[in-house]
Structure formats: structure tokens, C-alpha cells
């Protein structure tokens, strides 16, 4: 078993770190709000540190799941960042959804310090983290990925290296682009069913078994019909992710008209006070137009 540090105990990181501890790894956690780290230790055991640097000292693997580019820079290279405490040959695995630019920046910094860096964003939501069935898309040097893969497999159903540094983040952008269109389509279908006087549950029972079926439909249609939007991955975070996608598309000249439109629809949801609602709340915008 390995000595592992886990930085960031949000709705994803908290259960992910728990799976590592349950699997027998020696886990030290860090969270910006120390009360969350204290609660994690009380629940799972392990130890906590007051800085990323202290958490990373002596760790073979340092996993991070924080908020955005600036948060990641802080926990990596800030005054008490993890890179300052990591030993030569240690591996940093970033599960945060960030820009490919910051990934490449930190990869270079890590390499200069003798540290390996794997970008490994995740998909599957809070339930996927809690149940240990996340999808993990990775970029980075092959030896580092192969060393880290057994650790990541503890909380994943699929973990795959897509390519070199940044490939994981670019793949996560593909994931978010696809989700945006699917959730908007599902929202419109359920809204149309409501306006047509149909039983939404009966409609989904039928269409989910055909070409219209999707993970979003199976897992979100009932709560969307019930006007319940408390599934963890917030609209605010989705807009952050879609902003990353659109910035990258401006650079590589990809055409993302639907993604740009749905991003604006999520902006409308924020204006309704739904920044902390989950991403299926797009249907709230349609209902508000009635």
C-alpha cells in the first residue's frame, strides 16, 4: 500500500479519499476549510495536514480535486504548495477540471522539480465518486500514468490514458460539450411533454428504451419532473467548465454553436437564482418562460 495525499475534500474529493483509505492506503488529507478535513479523519481515519506542502511530504502520490485554475496553482506552487513538499519521483495526479494551459504549465514546473504530473479529470458526478465508479480521462507521460493507474482504479469504473500532457483535460472538455447538448435536449423533451399534457414518466419509460436513451435521461428525468435539483454538480461549475471549452475552441478553431448557446441558457438559470442547482436545472429556464 502507498502513502497518498489527497488535496480537496469537496463533494467529489471527500468520498474519493475515503475509498483510498478503505483500500488500505496511508492517506493524509488537506482541505482549505480545516473542519472538513477534521470530519473526514473522524469518519475514515488517516491523518490531516494544515497545508498542501505538509500533506505531500513523503507521499508517493498526491491527488488533487479542487475548484479551478487558480486553486490548482495555489495547492501546487503556492507558498505552501504541494510541489515544495514532494520528493523526487513522486507523482501528482490532478482530478480537477481546469484548462489545458494550466495543466501544461504545471506539468513543466513539476518536471523541472523531478516530479511527475498526470492530468486526470473525472466524470460521474457525486454518486460516481461515492460509489467508486468514476470515469477518469488522463494525460501525461506513460510511466507516470502506469504507476498511478492502480491507485485511481480504486474509485473508477474506467481509467484510461488518452495521450500526452493535457489530453485528459481536452477529453473532459469533450465530455462537458456532449453533456450540455444532451441535458438541453432532455429538458426540452420533458417540457414539451408537460405542455402537451402527457405523463412524463410514461413518456420516458418508452423513449428511454430507444435511440433517445441516455445516462442523463435514466438518472435525472424523475427529479427534473419533480422540480428537484440537488445532485451536487452545480450550474456555476458547469459554466466554469463550458467557459474552458469555449476558450479552447477559440484557439483550435472548433465550432461549438450549441455549447455556446447552452452556456447562455445556464447563465439564465443563474439569473433565476439557480447557480447552486445541479445541471439538470435547464428545464427550470423553460418553465420560467411560460
**CA 226 – CA 249 distance, rounded (Å):** 35
The helix/strand/coil state of 78 is: coil
Closest CA relative to residue 10, chosen from 20, 18, 2: 18
Query: Which of these is catalytic: 36, 111, 172, 195?
Result: 172
The helix/strand/coil state of 5 is: strand
DSSP 51: S
**CA 198 – CA 281 distance, rounded (Å):** 20
Q: How far is CA 241 from the centre of its chain?
A: 9
Phi (first) and psi of residue 37, to 5 degrees: -65, -40
Residue 241 cell numbers, joined: 467548465
The label of the residue with cell 413518456 reads 203
Residue 271 known to be catalytic: no
The helix/strand/coil state of 157 is: strand
**CA 189 – CA 238 distance, rounded (Å):** 21
Tell me how far apart the terminal alpha carbons of the chain are, to the nearest angstrom: 57
The number of C-alpha atoms within 13 Å of 5 and in the hemisphere containing its C-beta is: 31
CB 227 within 8 A of CB 247: no
Q: Which long-range contacts (CB under 8 A, 24 or more apart) does 266-272 make?
A: 266/235, 266/238, 266/239, 266/242, 267/239, 269/235, 270/235, 270/236, 270/239
The catalytic residue positions are 172
Amino acid at each position: 500500500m502507498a502513502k497518498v495525499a489527497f488535496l480537496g475534500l469537496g463533494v467529489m474529493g471527500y468520498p474519493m479519499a475515503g475509498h483510498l483509505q478503505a483500500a488500505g492506503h496511508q492517506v493524509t488529507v488537506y482541505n482549505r476549510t480545516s473542519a472538513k478535513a477534521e470530519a473526514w479523519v473522524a469518519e475514515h481515519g488517516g491523518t490531516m495536514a494544515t497545508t498542501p506542502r505538509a500533506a505531500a511530504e513523503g507521499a508517493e502520490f498526491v491527488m488533487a480535486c479542487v475548484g479551478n485554475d487558480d486553486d490548482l496553482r495555489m495547492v501546487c506552487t503556492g507558498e505552501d504548495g504541494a510541489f515544495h513538499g514532494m520528493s523526487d519521483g513522486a507523482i501528482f495526479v490532478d482530478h480537477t477540471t481546469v484548462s489545458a494551459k494550466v495543466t501544461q504549465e504545471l506539468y513543466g514546473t513539476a518536471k523541472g522539480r523531478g516530479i511527475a504530473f498526470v492530468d486526470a479529470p473525472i466524470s460521474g458526478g457525486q454518486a460516481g465518486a461515492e460509489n467508486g465508479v468514476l470515469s477518469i480521462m488522463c494525460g501525461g507521460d506513460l510511466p507516470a500514468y502506469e504507476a498511478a493507474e492502480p491507485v485511481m482504479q480504486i474509485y473508477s469504473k474506467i481509467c484510461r490514458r488518452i495521450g500526452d500532457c493535457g489530453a485528459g483535460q481536452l477529453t473532459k472538455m469533450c465530455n462537458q460539450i456532449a453533456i450540455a447538448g444532451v441535458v438541453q435536449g432532455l429538458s426540452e423533451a420533458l417540457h414539451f411533454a408537460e405542455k402537451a399534457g402527457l405523463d412524463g414518466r410514461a413518456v420516458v419509460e418508452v423513449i428511454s428504451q430507444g435511440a433517445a436513451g441516455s445516462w442523463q435521461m435514466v438518472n435525472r428525468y424523475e427529479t427534473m419532473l419533480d422540480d428537484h435539483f440537488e445532485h451536487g454538480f452545480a450550474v456555476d461549475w458547469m459554466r466554469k467548465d463550458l467557459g474552458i471549452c469555449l476558450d479552447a475552441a477559440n484557439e483550435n478553431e472548433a465550432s461549438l454553436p450549441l455549447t455556446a448557446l447552452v452556456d447562455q441558457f445556464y447563465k439564465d438559470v443563474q439569473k433565476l437564482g439557480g447557480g447552486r442547482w445541479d445541471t439538470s436545472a435547464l428545464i427550470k429556464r423553460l418553465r420560467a418562460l411560460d
